[in-house]
Amino acid sequence: MSKFCQIFVCATPGEGRCGAKGGDVLLERFREEVEERGIPSAMVLRNACTRRHEEGPVVFVYPDDVWYTHVKLDDVPGIVERHLAPQRVET
């Protein structure tokens, strides 16, 4: 049985916040990556503002309790691989 995992992406709109730094695009890219890999035990969610604007975009992985800062689109596959790929269901 695979563990349930959640990826929270800060995408709060506003000047200097994660949304303005690409958080919305990251949120969609994480969702696409999880879907493409067929990982049923993962959810990708919009996170409330973390008040870490200077470190944005910010991503948090639960239950691993891992925070990522200054996340870029190129980081998405590696983060998913690191936390979710071992949970893939073979068909």
How many residues does the structure list for the chain?
91
Q: How far apart are CA 38 and CA 28, in angstroms?
A: 15
Tens digit of each residue's pLDDT (9 = 90 or more) over 57-75? 999 999 999 999 999 999 9
Higher pLDDT, residue 61 or 86: 61
Q: What is the number of structural domains in the chain?
A: 1
Global pTM? Answer: 0.86
Distances (CA, A) of 5 to 60, 72, 77: 11, 21, 15
**Residue 21: CATH number of its domain:** 3.40.30.10
12 in Cβ contact with 49 (< 8 Å) = yes
Domain that holds residue 60: 5-87
